[in-house]
Structure 1
Amino acid sequence: MNCSTLVSEHPPLQILACITYVMFFFIGTIFNAFALWIFCCRLPKWTETTVFMVNLMMADILILLTFPFKLYALLNPWDLGHTVCIMLTSFYFTNTYMSIFIITAISCDRYLAIRHPLKYKSWMTPMKASVVCAIPWTLLLITSIAKTAQEKNANSTTCFVKVNREPSEWNLAFALAGFLFPLVLISFFSLKILKTLRDQITLESKDRRSFRKAMNIIIANMVIFVVCFSPVHTAYIVRYLADSADASCHTINHIQVFFRVTTLLSNANCVLDSVCYYFAASEFWEALSKQKQTFPKCRSFCIS
C-alpha cells in the first residue's frame, strides 16, 4: 500500500518549501562559493583543517545543487525518469552524510590539535586528511545508491518521497550510525576543547576575548548541528516505527509533513556551515596561537 498524497494536500507546506529551497539555494551557493574561494585562493598554504573545510564546502554546494530538482519534484509530477531520480536522491544522501562526517572530522581535528599537538603534528598531513575524506565519499555514494535503488518502487510520478510502506532499515541505520554516533563524538570533542580553552584564558582582556570568541563559535557549531540534524533523524526513526506498526495512511502523511519540515530545517545547515566555519578558521586558530607559551614546540602549527 502506498501513501503518496502528501504534497497535493498540504499547500502551506508547498509554499514553505518553495520559499526555503529558493532562498537556501541562492544564499547558500553564494556563501559557500565565497568561502570556498577564500580557502582555495587566498590562503598561502593548505593545512589539514583547510582540507576538511574545503570538503565540507564542496559537500554543501553539491547538496544545494539538488534543490532545483527537489523544487521541481514538489511542484510537478516527476517525469525525468527513474534513473535520474535515483541519481539525485543518492547525490543528496551522500553529500548530507558527508557533511555530517566532515563536521565530525573537524571536531576531531581540533581536539587532537589542542590536546595532543605534538603527536598530531607528526602524524597528520594534508594528504592524509584528503584520504580520510576520500574514503567516506566513496563508501557513502555506494551505500546511498543501494539504499535508493532498493526503496524506490514502480511509482514514477514522485521523487525524493518515500511512498511505500516497507520499514526502511536503511533510514534507521543512517539515523543511528550517520547521526547519533557522530553526535556523541562531536559532543565529546567539543566539551574537551571548551574545557581546554577555558583553562587557557589569561588575565589579559585581549587574550580573554580571543578565547571566548573561539569558545562561542564552538558552542554555536554544536547548537547548529543539533538543531539542524536532530529533528530530521527523529523523523526517520518515527517513520520506521510507524511503518513497522502498519500505521494508517493518515498517520503516515502527518509523519511525512513532519519529515518534510525537518528536512527543510536540516537544509539550513548548508548555509550556516559557510558562515560558522569561515569565522572558526580564524578565531579558533587565533585562540590556539595564544598557547605558544604552553606548547612552545608547536607554535608554527598552532598559528597556521
Structure 2
Amino acid sequence: MENCTDINSTLQNGILLFQLIVYIPVLSFGFLLNTVAFWVFCCKLKSWTETRVYMINLMVTDCFLLFALPFMIYFTKNKHPIDDLCFAVQMIYFTNRPMSIYIIMLIAIDRYIAIIFPLKAKSLRSPLKSASVCGCLWIIQIIYSYSQQKFQESKEKFCLQRHSTEPKYLTLFTISFGYFIPLVIIIFCSVKVIKCLKKKMASSFHDTMLIQKALHIVSVNLCVFTVCFSPVYITLLLRFIAEVAKACSLLSKLRVSILIFSCLANINCCLDAFCYYFAAKEFKEFSSLLPTCILKRSKVNQSQESQQPTEEVTL
C-alpha cells in the first residue's frame, strides 16, 4: 500500500507543466485585477455597504491564495519537508480557499434576502452585520485550519504531498461543510432569486432590461462557482471512498486528478476579480428596483389585511 499514491517522473513533469501554464496567467492577471479592485473598493467608494464588505473580504482571500500559488508549484515538484514555511503556506491555502467559498455563499444569501424579503432587508442587512459574520467565519476557519494542519504534521512527511492511504474521516467533514453544504445554499438562493426576478417587476422596458442583466449575472456566477470547485471536491470525495475501500489502483490516478482540478479551483481567485464590478453594479441596480417590489408587497399585504375580517367571519 506504500506506493499507491506515487506518481512517475514523466507524469510529474506533465503536471508541473500544466500548473505553470495555468498559474502564470492567473498570477499575472490576478494580482493586477485584485490591485485595481483594492483601489476601487478602498479608495474610490465612499459609503460602506454589505456588498463592499463582502467584496473586500473576497479580495483578501484571493490575494492570499495568489501568494500561495508559487509555493504550491514548488512543493509539487520537490519533496519539501513539513517545516515552518510549509506550515505557513498550508495555513494560508487551506484557510483562504474555504473562506472564498463561504464569502461567495454569503453574497448569495445577502442577494436572496434583498430580493425575496425586501421589507425585512433593512433590519436583516447592514454593513456591520456583514463584517461581524465575516469576522466570525475568519476566526472559525483559522482555528479549524490550524488544528487540521497540526493533526496532519504527524501523519505526513512531505509538504502538500499526501502519501498515506488511511482514510481521514475529518476530510469527509471538511468536504461536506467546506463545499457541498455551501453549494446547496448557493444553488437554493440563486434559483429562488432567478424565479423571483422572472415573476416580478417587469412593468416597464427599463425594469425588464435590468432584470435580464441581473439574471445573467446570477446565472454566470453560479456556473463559474460550480465549474471551478465541483471537480476537485468530488475527486476528494472519491479519494476518501477509495481509501475506505482500499482501492490502491485508483489512489494514484485520483491524486493526479486532485492536482489538476486544484488548478481549476484556483483559477477562481482570478475570475472573482471580474465579479467585483458586476456584483457591485448588480446591487446598485437592484436597489432601484426594490422600491417597486416593496410597493407591490405593501399593496398585497394591505389587500390581505382588508380581507381578513371577512375570512374570519366565514370561518
By the TM > 0.5 criterion, same fold?
yes
User: Which structure 1 residue ranges, 5 or more long, are not aligned?
Assistant: 299-304
Provide the rounded CA distance (Å) in 2 between the counterparts of 1:244 and 1:187: 30
Provide the rounded CA distance (Å) in 2 between the counterparts of 1:2 and 1:9: 20
After superposition, the Cα gap between the structure-2 partners of 1:246 and 1:200, relative to the gap in structure 1 and judged at 3 Å, is same
CA deviation digits over 1:46-73, x for unaligned, max 9?
Answer: 1112101110111111111101111111
> SS of 2:91's equivalent?
helix
Provide the rounded CA distance (Å) in 1 between the counterparts of 2:2 and 2:149: 17
Provide the rounded CA distance (Å) in 1 between the counterparts of 2:176 and 2:70: 29
Report the equivalent of 1:302: none
Report the equivalent of 1:274: 273
In the TM superposition, residue 117 of structure 1 has moved relative to its aligned partner by 2.3
RMSD: 2.1
Report the equivalent of 1:138: 139
Report the equivalent of 1:149: 150
> One-letter code of the match for 1:180?
F
Which structure is higher in RCO with an 8 Å CA cutoff and minimum separation 6?
A: 2
> One-letter code of the match for 2:52?
T
Q: Is the contact made by 1:235 and 1:255 (CA closer than 8 Å) also made in structure 2?
A: yes
> SS of 1:117's equivalent?
coil
Report the equivalent of 1:126: 127
CA deviation digits over 1:125-180, x for unaligned, max 9?
Answer: 21221110011111111111221222234754x32221111212222111111111
In the TM superposition, residue 290 of structure 1 has moved relative to its aligned partner by 2.6
> SS of 1:36's equivalent?
helix
In the TM superposition, residue 297 of structure 1 has moved relative to its aligned partner by 11
In the TM superposition, residue 296 of structure 1 has moved relative to its aligned partner by 5.2
> SS of 1:118's equivalent?
coil
After superposition, the Cα gap between the structure-2 partners of 1:91 and 1:97, relative to the gap in structure 1 and judged at 3 Å, is same
Deviating beyond 3 angstroms after TM superposition, the runs of 4 or more aligned structure 1 residues are 1-5, 152-156, 203-206
Report the equivalent of 1:114: 115
CA deviation digits over 1:208-255, x for unaligned, max 9?
Answer: 22211111010001001111111111111111111112222x421111
Report the equivalent of 1:20: 22
- What percent of counterpart residues are identical? 35
Report the equivalent of 1:228: 228
Name which of structure 1's ranges 215-224 and 173-182 shifts more when overlaid on structure 2.
173-182
After superposition, the Cα gap between the structure-2 partners of 1:185 and 1:155, relative to the gap in structure 1 and judged at 3 Å, is closer
After superposition, the Cα gap between the structure-2 partners of 1:78 and 1:9, relative to the gap in structure 1 and judged at 3 Å, is same
Rg larger for: 2
Report the equivalent of 2:240: 240
In the TM superposition, residue 36 of structure 1 has moved relative to its aligned partner by 2.2
Provide the rounded CA distance (Å) in 2 between the counterparts of 1:247 and 1:86: 30
> One-letter code of the match for 2:186?
I
Provide the rounded CA distance (Å) in 1 between the counterparts of 2:232 and 2:224: 13
After superposition, the Cα gap between the structure-2 partners of 1:237 and 1:155, relative to the gap in structure 1 and judged at 3 Å, is closer
> One-letter code of the match for 2:48?
W
Q: Is the contact made by 2:51 and 2:279 (CA closer than 8 Å) also made in structure 1?
A: no
After superposition, the Cα gap between the structure-2 partners of 1:123 and 1:284, relative to the gap in structure 1 and judged at 3 Å, is closer
Q: Is the contact made by 1:53 and 1:277 (CA closer than 8 Å) also made in structure 2?
A: yes
Q: How many residues align?
A: 295
Matches within 5 A, 1:77-92: 77-78=79-80, 81-92=82-93
Q: Is the contact made by 2:105 and 2:185 (CA closer than 8 Å) also made in structure 1?
A: yes
Q: Is the contact made by 1:90 and 1:148 (CA closer than 8 Å) also made in structure 2?
A: yes
Provide the rounded CA distance (Å) in 2 between the counterparts of 1:268 and 1:217: 19
After superposition, the Cα gap between the structure-2 partners of 1:199 and 1:167, relative to the gap in structure 1 and judged at 3 Å, is same
